[in-house]
Amino acid sequence: MIPSRKKVYVEGSRPDIQVPFAEVELSGGEPPVRLYDTSGPGSDPEEGLPQLRQKWIEERGIDEKCNTQLHYAKKGMITPEMEFVAIREGLQPEFVRDEIAAGRAILPNNINHPESEPMIIGKNFLVKINANIGTSAVSDSIADEVEKLTWATQWGGDTVMDLSTGKHIHATREHIIRNSAVPIGTVPLYQALEKVNGDPTKLNWEVYRETIIEQAEQGVDYMTVHAGVLLSYVPLAANRVTGIVSRGGSIMAAWCLAHHEESFLYTHYRELCEIFAKYDIAFSLGDGLRPGSIADANDEAQFAELRTLGELTKIAWEYDVQVMVEGPGHVPMHKIKENVDLQQEICQEAPFYTLGPLTTDVAPAYDHITSAIGAAMIGWFGTAMLCYVTPKEHLGLPNRDDVKEGVIAYKIAAHAADLAKGHPKAQEWDDALSKARFEFRWEDQFNLSLDPQRAREYHDETLPAEPAKTAHFCSMCGPKFCSMKISQELKEYAAQGMAEKSEEFREAGGKVYLPVVEKK
Amino acid sequence: MIPSRKKVYVEGSRPDIQVPFAEVELSGGEPPVRLYDTSGPGSDPEEGLPQLRQKWIEERGIDEKCNTQLHYAKKGMITPEMEFVAIREGLQPEFVRDEIAAGRAILPNNINHPESEPMIIGKNFLVKINANIGTSAVSDSIADEVEKLTWATQWGGDTVMDLSTGKHIHATREHIIRNSAVPIGTVPLYQALEKVNGDPTKLNWEVYRETIIEQAEQGVDYMTVHAGVLLSYVPLAANRVTGIVSRGGSIMAAWCLAHHEESFLYTHYRELCEIFAKYDIAFSLGDGLRPGSIADANDEAQFAELRTLGELTKIAWEYDVQVMVEGPGHVPMHKIKENVDLQQEICQEAPFYTLGPLTTDVAPAYDHITSAIGAAMIGWFGTAMLCYVTPKEHLGLPNRDDVKEGVIAYKIAAHAADLAKGHPKAQEWDDALSKARFEFRWEDQFNLSLDPQRAREYHDETLPAEPAKTAHFCSMCGPKFCSMKISQELKEYAAQGMAEKSEEFREAGGKVYLPVVEKK
């Protein structure tokens, strides 16, 4: 939890439904503001987190075939998970249930991950963000990754993907899941590849299936499956500027080429659905042929795969398995909307989950910004979850600071999208902060911000003295021109007529509010 | 000039037209890439910069009434300045002339600022960015500001506004102009206010006029004039969440209230036009009633002023004075396009020059990002120049690092807009970088990027060894899975048919290109 915020819980229809919020207390007689809270109860390296959902799962009883929220929703049930989500989003439980039943939203929560606080991914809810973490061949500390998980969710990560490769994949994931109050996603293909010593041509359905079940048992909530990379699509990527840039996509392309066979993910897809239904794992249908550069955006390779993802979405729904669909990547602004519109049409409004997109390739080291632009826009257009990009994208592995920069940039994008979509609770937050700013309630302004500590530090860099925190000016215009008078003057003026007020104003010394806010 | 780039000059139709470009040499037999270069010849604290345009100005002869590029353009002349700009933008001189003649673009260059390298601001050209610098009551070193000027233009600032307040305004500006190869803008009202000891009610036309002429003589290229804040509009801002946040706007509002008279900027506007025509100063018609928060976006106060700015635009054109029009500010994404569309309609396509806009208020300390989102979009929609916002916006005065962060975020926004607008030269840059990335030409990738040094540092943080610069892998996937083979394989595969190739591929050991580029 960010310091200066207080965790409060709202109780649902039963005492074990306790929905967390981050409350910001304000001065000046303003009511406190309650913000969506992803931080969870922290981590416990020894015991793991409390099993919040265990009782709900047991009450329902575990079916041998299907235990998905989609299944319950279709039957008209409102589960405690759905009610939890409804309170969290400020909506009616029936609405949550209907959106899940229609496939327009998913509530990812493996029955073996009872530690998770339910959340929902769908275009009619708050836009969510995902943070990627994970060990690699050159960096493999489990403790570091659990720390990154806690860190990412403190700043607002709604889900976390564990993309570990290298050694200790199983153990890393175990520690992450047991300490995670947010849903955990994976790309099981990475671990399967480790099991065949890194040779993609040695992959097969059996190894993959075994990996899926291993991860399902641990409690992975959603899995990226690159089942749309068909043999016949691979040549479509041949003449691209940047070929295939998705790891999963290139692994499957290599397999298809080597065997000259259709992808085993595609041919065994119905078996996957059966497994996913049992654990309530959600599909995140991977876009293995997504563009890796501006030049390759919206090409035939990408859209051919998307059409297959549409097919696969419908098949998953036959099994009552929850599905979202992944999207690009690198897309210039004028080609972004087409991505959402096509995905929503082809995949019948299944939630879209995009990586950025980056709106230009010329700024490595700043791709959290190049992609926050695209992410905000695609979120507005209807994307349900945004996968973050850190400043290290394309260059190296993100450290703790990079994770924070990525999460904050994406919280900005997601919230800007919520505002543009007109989510009723979104603008309350902005209005509270704007009002605090205008009224010189500096501490309130800091505390309401996405990063109170940095906002305070930046203010203090120019005006460190404590009285400046209550001063009716800031360093941009200095003390000489700043007062709050004009706002009051303006209001009275409008109310009482202009002529007499102008006289009064001049007699009072003509003091004027010069803005604290902007430089010109 | 950013290290690793080389300044080259392209000669025009006469030997004294020398247009600078930043050339990036590439390896692997790739041709060098030439980028737009704003860095100028550096600074010379003793002598100032060479007077590049002096001869052109003298050749034309200085007219007693009008010396504007708009005047020449309307007469059908192509000045050396226009030809310079045409080469810089990769367009025909006739096109440049026609856009200026139509008022759709401005070429700001005071005849007393012969040091400037001509540049153009208009929607049919590359999107430009402005960086604000300037002393204030709490920070008043002239040397620091000249240093910020050089720094801002090194990273890509197309114009710089000197917004100094406090002491030494005249001297600061003199040093800035004499060392600036980019056009310099000001808000003369700030200096006028200092002359009346900071009391806005004491302002009058005479003091303002004297200030304008003082700055005109020094060579200021464009001036923000808040002539659209009319007496009758002031009450429209009374019930806003954040009132009037423009400094210029609030000064003029205070004056109007105190005197209960129409603004002297409005009533003396034609006299201003005469002065501007003589020096070729461009108007930047200030938006004194721009919104200061999401809540206040696109309201009646804002649009009432805009309609007046439309009137003032037409009057300026009567005098052959160049004009651009300023815009907001704080605007949620779904309200951005209306701003451009209205401004373009009301002001008959005069260039739009916006501050951001910020797309949410909840992220002080990250407003370079909240506003880069809005800036990219509004640039795409037709805004000609974007005024940068630094991470310190609303909190404090930007230091050197903040200036850089602001400029880079805005170069990203402007370039993303150029791509979306389909500017022919924009995508060449992306393609060159994407290709370098795909071919593991790490040094080329760094050198082509907006910030080569930071890109290199981030790469080296995980893989510091020199051989990693030529390695066909990066730290994201590690060495085990990386090879360039698959790209070649794919191309051959597509060309030669799939069956026989799949066999060959498997026999060759099935080595596969796994992406260096993205994490999943």
CB pairs under 8 A between A and B: 481
Contact A513 B243 (CB under 8 A): yes
Region B25-39 average pLDDT = 96
Does the structure show a pLDDT above 50 at A356? yes
| pLDDT recorded at residue B517 | 37
Lowest mean pLDDT among A75-84, A141-150, B146-155, B496-505: B496-505
**What residues of chain B lie within 8 A of the CB of A242, using their CB?**
434-435, 437-438, 517
What tens digit of pLDDT does each residue of A89-130 get? 999 999 999 999 999 999 999 999 999 999 999 999 999 999
Contact A334 B377 (CB under 8 A): no
In this structure, the number of other CB atoms found within 10 A of the CB of residue A500 comes to 11
User: What whole-number percentage of chain A has pLDDT above 90?
Assistant: 78
Query: Which comes out higher in pLDDT, residue B262 or A489?
Result: B262
| pLDDT recorded at residue B46 | 76
Region A229-245 average pLDDT = 92
ipTM, 2 decimals?
Answer: 0.94
**Helices A247-259 and A188-195: crossing angle, nearest 10°?**
50
| pLDDT recorded at residue B482 | 42
Contact A355, B515 (CB under 8 A): no
Q: Is A237 exposed, middle or buried (0-12, 13-18, 19+ CB in 10 A)?
A: buried
Q: How many residues comprise chain B?
A: 520
C-alpha distance from A416 to closest chain B C-alpha (Å): 6
In the sheet where A6-11 sits, what is the strand order? A6-11, A18-24, A33-36
Rounded distance between C-alpha atoms, residue A105 and residue A324, angstroms: 8
Rounded distance between C-alpha atoms, residue B430 and residue B412, angstroms: 12
Contact B380 A333 (CB under 8 A): yes
Q: Token pair of B127, please?
A: 């999107």
What is the band of A49 on the pLDDT scale with cuts at 50, 70, 90?
very high
Rounded distance between C-alpha atoms, residue B201 and residue A510, angstroms: 6
Contact B262, B231 (CB under 8 A): yes
Does the structure show a pLDDT above 70 at B282? yes
Q: Token pair of A258, please?
A: 């080597």
| pLDDT recorded at residue B424 | 76
Query: Which parts of B53-159 fold into alpha helices (H)?
Result: 54-60, 69-74, 80-89, 93-101, 142-154
| Preceding peptide of B329 cis, ω within 30° | yes
Residue B283 main-chain phi, psi, to 5 deg: -75, 140
User: What whole-number percentage of chain B has pLDDT above 90?
Assistant: 78
What is the band of A508 on the pLDDT scale with cuts at 50, 70, 90?
low
Region B353-363 average pLDDT = 98
Does the structure show a pLDDT above 80 at A477? no
| pLDDT recorded at residue A482 | 42
- Residue A71 in marked binding region: no
C-alpha distance from A310 to closest chain B C-alpha (Å): 21
Of A369, A434, A510, which is closest to B293 when you measure between CB atoms? A434
Say if strands A282-285 and A323-327 run parallel, antiparallel, or are unpaired. parallel
Contact A336, A377 (CB under 8 A): yes
In chain B, the residue whose alpha carbon lies closest to the alpha carbon of A335 is B420
**What residues of chain A lie within 8 A of the CB of B334, using their CB?**
380, 419-422
Q: Element (H or E) spanning A283, and its range?
A: strand A282-285
Rounded distance between C-alpha atoms, residue B313 and residue B285, angstroms: 8
Contact A395 B286 (CB under 8 A): no
- Round the average pLDDT of chain B to a whole number and report it: 91
pTM over 0.90: yes
- Round the average pLDDT of chain A to a whole number and report it: 91
| Preceding peptide of B357 cis, ω within 30° | yes
Rounded distance between C-alpha atoms, residue A472 and residue A464, angstroms: 15
Region A160-169 average pLDDT = 89
| pLDDT recorded at residue A483 | 34
What is the band of A514 on the pLDDT scale with cuts at 50, 70, 90?
very low
Region B401-418 average pLDDT = 98
| pLDDT recorded at residue A470 | 63
3-state SS class at A223: strand
Does the structure show a pLDDT above 70 at A517? no
**What residues of chain A lie within 8 A of the CB of B414, using their CB?**
none
Region B106-119 average pLDDT = 98
3-state SS class at A39: coil
C-alpha distance from A46 to closest chain B C-alpha (Å): 30
Rounded distance between C-alpha atoms, residue A124 and residue B226, angstroms: 42
Across B407-417, b (16+ Cβ under 10 Å) vs e yields bbbbbbbbbbb
Rounded distance between C-alpha atoms, residue A478 and residue A474, angstroms: 6
C-alpha distance from B315 to closest chain A C-alpha (Å): 24
Query: Which comes out higher in pLDDT, residue A202 or B238?
Result: A202
Q: Token pair of A286, please?
A: 């991977």
Which one of B359, B433, B484 would you mutate to disrupt binding with A, by most A Cβ within 10 Å of its Cβ? B359
Query: Which comes out higher in pLDDT, residue B34 or A506?
Result: B34
Q: Give, as one character, the DSSP assignment of residue A155.
A: H
Contact A248 B420 (CB under 8 A): no
Contact A502 B372 (CB under 8 A): no
List of E strands, B124-233: 128-133, 159-162, 184-186, 222-225
CA A13 to chain centre: 28
What tens digit of pLDDT does each residue of B292-336 get? 999 999 999 999 999 999 999 999 999 999 999 999 999 999 999
Does the structure show a pLDDT above 90 at A496? no
Rounded distance between C-alpha atoms, residue B353 and residue B346, angstroms: 14
Contact A163 B520 (CB under 8 A): yes
3-state SS class at A494: helix
Rounded distance between C-alpha atoms, residue A120 and residue A128, angstroms: 8
Query: Which comes out higher in pLDDT, residue A290 or A477?
Result: A290
| pLDDT recorded at residue B3 | 78
Region A227-245 average pLDDT = 93
Does the structure show a pLDDT above 70 at A242? yes
Q: Token pair of A313, please?
A: 């979405």
Region B360-364 average pLDDT = 98
- Residue A477 in marked binding region: yes
Residue with tokens 């800031």: A474
Of B295, B448, B502, which is closest to A259 when you measure between CB atoms? B502
Does the structure show a pLDDT above 80 at A386? yes
| Preceding peptide of A357 cis, ω within 30° | yes
What tens digit of pLDDT does each residue of A428-449 get? 999 999 999 988 899 999 999 9
| pLDDT recorded at residue B513 | 40
Contact B363, B335 (CB under 8 A): no
Residue A516, CA distances (Å) to A339, A493, B161 in order: 41, 21, 19
User: What whole-number percentage of chain A has pLDDT above 70?
Assistant: 89
Lowest mean pLDDT among B77-81, B256-260, B307-311: B256-260
Does the structure show a pLDDT above 60 at B501? no
Query: Which comes out higher in pLDDT, residue B489 or A32?
Result: A32
Does the structure show a pLDDT above 80 at A504? no
- Residue A246 in marked binding region: yes
Region B35-59 average pLDDT = 90
Region A234-242 average pLDDT = 91
| pLDDT recorded at residue A519 | 45
Q: Token pair of A132, please?
A: 């990627």
Region B406-413 average pLDDT = 98
Contact A244, A237 (CB under 8 A): yes
Query: Which comes out higher in pLDDT, residue A148 or B481?
Result: A148
Contact B136 A476 (CB under 8 A): yes
Rounded distance between C-alpha atoms, residue B339 and residue B324, angstroms: 14
Contact A289, A302 (CB under 8 A): yes
Region A247-269 average pLDDT = 94
| pLDDT recorded at residue A328 | 97
User: What whole-number percentage of chain B has pLDDT above 70?
Assistant: 89
Contact A295, A240 (CB under 8 A): yes
